[in-house]
């Protein structure tokens, strides 16, 4: 049994601009006893589901501006919180958090909800993990919406911006999540910053956000690197779906240069939507991104 903490529900009362019903599962195969939180909005019989995957150090709150656009167009939107994040349980042993731990959770979650005709909406770790899934579930995925992310194959040299961030996180076990969010999205209000801080009452709850930067496969034999290389090859040879890309141009870690490389990996990936004022957290401009993506896919 994995020992985990659960953020008190009162921390999530009166969240600004987040009217969605919280849903939970605590019996996913391989994760029995750990409770996962997710949002599931829109018609369950929709012919498409937008699977929205967050990254570091956020949670499904990050998609509060995109989900309404998707569901108002008649589609289903699902947004889980990774273990260690948001309303999901938070294992207290930092070593529990591995690339495979998070990836296996996503596989079990998708199969449990039997999601089909998936548009993968991803940024940061949402893509690092999420982009490894379509090759193993090719009949489930049809579209991609890519924002400031990467498929980390362990090849090449990590950017100075990423190395600096990873080192900072390693030295800062009780990092101030709200301050980090403001650096990446200065447009955030006090209420929104409070919502990003809500999952983490103190340092004991922050194992997931401490570990994510250390888990990025930056060497050839790092955990997750091989499967990411396989995914890279699969996309170039096998992907037949549609894609849309939005880039926060002010991101020093996963910004324009990284996204140009990702664009080359995805067949027929169109010219990206460039959001000049956006940084790493592109979803803070998510209403624009979601609307443009739906228009591009001719879904409205």
- Residue 233 contacts residue 244 (beta carbons within 8 Å): no
Determine phi and psi for 254, rounding to 5 degrees.
-125, 50
67 CB-near residues (< 8 Å, 6+ apart): 20, 39, 41, 50, 52, 77, 79
- Measured between alpha carbons, how far apart are the two ends of the chain, in Å? 46
- Residue 60 contacts residue 39 (beta carbons within 8 Å): yes
205 CB-near residues (< 8 Å, 6+ apart): 5, 7, 90, 199
Residues known to be catalytic: 124, 251, 280
98 CB-near residues (< 8 Å, 6+ apart): 215, 223
Token pair, residue 80, equals 């889980």
Determine phi and psi for 268, rounding to 5 degrees.
65, 20
């Amino acid at each position: 049994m994995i020992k985990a903490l659960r953020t008190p529900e009162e921390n999530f009362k009166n969240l600004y601009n987040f009217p969605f019903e919280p849903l939970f599962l605590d019996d996913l195969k391989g994760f029995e006893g750990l409770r996962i939180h997710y949002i599931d909005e829109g018609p369950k019989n929709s012919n498409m589901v937008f699977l929205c995957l967050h990254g570091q150090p956020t949670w499904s709150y990050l998609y509060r501006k995109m989900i309404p656009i998707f569901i108002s167009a008649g589609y289903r939107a699902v947004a889980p919180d990774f273990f260690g994040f948001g309303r999901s349980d938070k294992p207290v042993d930092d070593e529990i958090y591995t690339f495979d731990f998070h990836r296996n959770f996503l596989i079990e979650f998708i199969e449990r909800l039997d999601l089909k005709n998936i548009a993968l909406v991803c940024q940061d770790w949402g893509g690092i993990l999420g982009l490894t899934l379509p090759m193993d579930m090719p009949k489930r995925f049809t579209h991609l919406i890519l924002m400031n992310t990467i498929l980390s194959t362990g090849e090449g040299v990590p950017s100075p911006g990423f190395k600096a961030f990873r080192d900072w996180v390693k030295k800062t076990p009780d990092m101030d999540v709200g301050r980090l969010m403001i650096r990446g999205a200065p447009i955030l209000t006090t209420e929104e910053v409070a919502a990003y801080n809500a999952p983490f009452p103190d340092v004991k709850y922050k194992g997931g956000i401490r570990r994510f930067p250390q888990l990025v496969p930056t060497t050839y034999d790092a955990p997750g690197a091989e499967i990411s290389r396989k995914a890279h090859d699969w996309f170039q040879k096998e992907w037949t779906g549609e894609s849309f890309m939005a880039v926060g141009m002010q991101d020093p870690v996963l910004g324009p240069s990284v996204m140009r490389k990702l664009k080359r990996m995805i067949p027929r990936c169109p010219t990206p939507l460039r959001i000049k004022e956006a940084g790493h957290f592109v979803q803070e401009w998510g209403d624009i991104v979601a609307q443009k993506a739906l228009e591009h896919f001719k879904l409205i």
